[in-house]
């Protein structure tokens, strides 16, 4: 019976391995609940005290034999005690643990210990948040949820674009009605251009006007000319287009004042002007000058015009999406003032810490650290802000260039006409002749 029993055991083990591999590939959540979570929960429970002691998370407590006035009896040392934690609760692809802080502790200490927790628990990442005073929530993810994020879904809404998926598995949505202006930073081949293409693909079927400012000769946004109401390919054209938009903004103000409303969204449908989304690719080209008087004047004009649109455009249906490889105060004081008006932030992989700090530093220091950890292999991965003021890692859906161009051509008939911008560009061509 010995050989027969051994063969039977080996057959059952092989069957379990095959079935387990199939479940892991096709039903990763099931595989995690059945095998991954129990092992991870065991590691959390049995390594917590040691991790807490080694990473200064434990608090020294007085022993039981303590006299009045906190005098210790000789021979009774002060013993470090690890904070109390809840039993690990399973999530879809990870687990969460609630820690009760001792007096004097802050969440910052736990943020510094995240690397130790990742290695001790053998998980992909651990995030520290504080849902209420005196508590810290440790959320661990077993694997990188953005490695294969899948296709998320979101309800269709005007000026709302489904960009990709966030690390929690939900949809990454850029809603310009909630957050009217956005700043996108990213180095070359980090996924910034793909995100802009995805945004245009999502906005193309909607009744909105798209205006492009691409001072690299229109190499990026020029692909979507069929769906753009206007395109500026140099700084001189950008000044003309932005000036015309500011004049249009003043006309919208007059219309709202006459109707006695505070925004165009309170106007009747017949009187409401078309929303305009201004896409600026490579903001540095607008701010840097070659030292000549004309170049400096154009840079100052672009800075002033963009700032006015950002300050006053939200209620008037004028929205800015500004992208750049390098975003820093060295571009000029106008960049810092503009950054303060761009409430939405997206930071891909960047080449210098200053750009990550400029993009996310005034919102959350932890987000800066996470953004700097994005590698060159993680194209499309970014740290983005949400309407609630928080932040999350996210990944945009891959939108091939030919697909984005095809979508723009398909919906070219929906391109609104902006006569003021057309006249400004025509007048500029006439002056050039």
| Total length of the chain | 433
Q: Are residues 165 and 246 in the same domain?
A: yes
Q: What is the pLDDT along the chain (433 residues), one digit of tens a residue?
A: 566 666 655 555 554 455 455 545 555 666 778 888 888 999 999 999 999 988 888 876 655 554 444 545 554 455 678 888 999 998 877 899 999 988 888 888 888 888 899 999 998 888 888 888 889 999 888 877 777 665 556 667 899 999 988 887 778 899 999 999 999 999 988 888 889 999 999 999 999 999 999 988 888 899 999 999 999 999 999 999 999 999 999 999 999 999 999 999 999 988 899 999 999 998 988 888 777 888 888 889 999 999 999 999 999 999 999 999 888 777 777 888 898 899 999 999 998 888 888 888 877 777 888 888 888 888 888 999 877 777 888 888 888 888 999 999 999 999 999 999 988 888 887 665 4
Q: Are 241 and 232 in contact (CB under 8 A)?
A: yes
Phi-psi region of 123 (alpha: psi -120 to 50; beta: other; left: phi over 0): beta
Rounded to whole angstroms, how far apart are CA atoms 180 and 414?
22
Q: Three-state SS for 170?
A: coil
Scanning the structure block, which residue is given the tokens 């210098």? 352
Q: What are the beta bridge partners of residue 175?
A: 160
* 130 and 261 housed in the same domain: no
Give the per-residue pLDDT at 358.
86
* SS3 assignment, position 203: helix
The pLDDT tens digits for 27-73 are 566 677 888 888 899 999 999 999 998 888 887 665 555 444 454 55
Q: In this structure, is residue 18 part of a structural domain? A: no
DSSP 1-27: -HHHHHHHHHHHHHHHHHHHHHHHHH-
In a domain, 348, yes or no: yes
Residue 432's alpha-carbon distances to 25, 299, 301, 428, in angstroms, are: 61, 19, 19, 6
**Do 393 and 419 have their domain in common?**
yes
- Shared domain for 216 and 319, answered yes or no, is yes
DSSP code of residue 85: B
Range of the domain at 101: 45-143
* Number of domains making up the chain: 2
Does 167 share its domain with 264?
Answer: yes
In a domain, 30, yes or no: no
The predicted pLDDT at position 312 comes to: 92
Residue 208's domain is classified under what CATH number? 3.40.50.300
Task: Give the pLDDT of residue 168.
Answer: 74
Q: 167 and 230: one domain?
A: yes
Percentage of the chain surpassing pLDDT 90? 39
Is 22 part of a structural domain of the chain?
no
Nearest-angstrom CA–CA distance, 35 and 32:
6
> How far is 69 from 418, CA to CA, in rounded Å?
80
Q: Supply the pLDDT for residue 25.
A: 54
Q: Are residues 303 and 383 in the same domain?
A: yes
Q: Which residues pair with 324 in a beta bridge?
A: 185
Domain CATH code at residue 122:
3.30.980
- 267 and 369 housed in the same domain: yes
Per DSSP, what are the bridge partners of residue 396? 164
User: How far is the C-alpha of 351 from the C-alpha of 363, rounded, in Å?
Assistant: 20
Say yes or no: 174 and 290 in one domain.
yes
The 10 Å Cβ neighbour count of residue 312 is 16
333 and 194 share a domain? yes
């Amino acid at each position: 019976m010995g050989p027969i029993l051994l063969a039977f055991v080996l057959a059952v083990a092989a069957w379990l391995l095959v079935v387990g591999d199939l479940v892991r590939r096709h039903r990763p959540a099931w595989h995690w609940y059945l095998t991954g979570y129990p092992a991870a929960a065991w590691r959390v429970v049995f390594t917590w005290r040691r991790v807490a002691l080694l990473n200064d998370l434990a608090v020294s407590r007085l022993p039981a034999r303590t006299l009045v006035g906190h005098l210790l009896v000789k021979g009774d040392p002060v013993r470090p005690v690890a904070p109390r934690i809840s039993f690990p609760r399973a999530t879809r692809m990870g687990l969460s643990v609630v820690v009760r802080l001792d007096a004097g502790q802050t969440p910052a200490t736990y943020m510094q210990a995240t690397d130790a927790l990742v290695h001790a628990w053998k998980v992909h990442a651990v995030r520290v948040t504080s849902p209420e005073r005196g508590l810290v929530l440790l959320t661990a993810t077993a694997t990188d949820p953005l490695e294969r994020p899948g296709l998320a879904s979101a309800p269709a809404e005007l000026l709302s674009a489904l960009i990709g998926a966030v690390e929690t598995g939900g949809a990454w949505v850029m809603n310009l009605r909630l957050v009217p202006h956005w700043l996108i930073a990213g180095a070359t081949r980090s996924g910034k251009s793909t995100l802009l293409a995805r945004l245009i693909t999502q906005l193309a079927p909607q009744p909105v006007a798209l205006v492009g400012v691409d001072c690299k000769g229109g190499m990026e946004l020029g692909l979507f000319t069929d769906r753009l109401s206007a395109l500026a390919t140099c700084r001189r054209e950008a000044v003309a287009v932005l000036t015309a938009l500011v004049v249009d903004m003043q006309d919208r103000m007059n219309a709202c004042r006459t109707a006695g409303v505070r925004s165009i969204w309170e106007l009747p449908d017949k009187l409401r002007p078309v929303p305009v989304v201004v896409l600026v690719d490579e903001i540095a080209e607008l701010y840097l000058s070659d030292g000549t008087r004309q170049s400096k004047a154009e840079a100052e004009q672009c800075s002033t015009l963009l700032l006015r649109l950002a300050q006053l455009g939200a209620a008037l249906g004028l929205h800015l999406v500004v992208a750049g490889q390098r975003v820093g105060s060295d571009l000029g004081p106008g960049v810092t003032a503009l950054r303060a008006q761009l409430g939405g932030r997206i930071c891909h992989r960047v080449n210098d810490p200053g750009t990550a700090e400029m993009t996310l530093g005034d919102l959350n220091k932890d987000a800066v650290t996470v953004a700097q950890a994005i590698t060159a292999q993680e194209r499309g991965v970014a740290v983005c802000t949400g309407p609630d003021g928080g932040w999350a890692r996210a990944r945009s859906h891959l939108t091939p260039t030919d697909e984005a161009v095809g979508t723009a051509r398909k919906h070219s008939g929906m391109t609104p006409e902006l006569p003021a911008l057309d006249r400004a560009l025509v007048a500029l061509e006439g002056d050039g002749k």
